[in-house]
Amino acid sequence: MPWLLAITHNRMVDQARRNARRSAHELSVDEYPADVADENFDAHASGYGDPEELRRAIRSLPRGQRSAIEMLKLREMSLKEAAQATGMSIGALKVSVHRAIKVLRMSLRA
């Protein structure tokens, strides 16, 4: 019986901690906006930039990285589909996408 009470106590403590962490990140909103679009929306702050600049940056990527980005991010193909189409392994595709995104962030930030 004592071990059952200890388990129950520990589960209750874990749940209380979980709830405390979750509620620490929540914000109380008295009134929701009437529409989703915000008039003060700043396109550059949200991460959207010049689409033509993005196209140029993607074209400047090495062929493997460019095809991985095009298939996985632009065409939204699954990793399995892209691996079959390119002949690359799933792991190699993941690495190519990661490296391509890193290069794109650096080139678009400058």
The larger pLDDT score, comparing residue 109 to residue 63, is at 63
| DSSP 8-state assignment for residue 32 | -
51-109 folds as Arc Repressor Mutant, subunit A (1.10.10)
Instruction: Tell me the CA distances in angstroms from 18 to 7, 27, 47, 69, 77, one per residue in order.
Output: 16, 16, 32, 37, 36
| Average pLDDT, integer, range 63-84 | 93
Q: What is the pLDDT of residue 24?
A: 75
| Residue 1 structure tokens | 């019986």
Cα–Cα distance for residue pair 69/67, rounded to 1 Å: 5
Residues 33-72: tens digit of each pLDDT = 665 555 555 544 455 578 889 899 999 999 999 999 999 9
Q: What is the pLDDT of residue 51?
A: 85
Q: Report how far Cα 100 is from the mean position of its chain's Cα atoms.
A: 15
Q: Give the other-Cβ count within 10 Å of 75's Cβ.
A: 11
pTM: 0.55
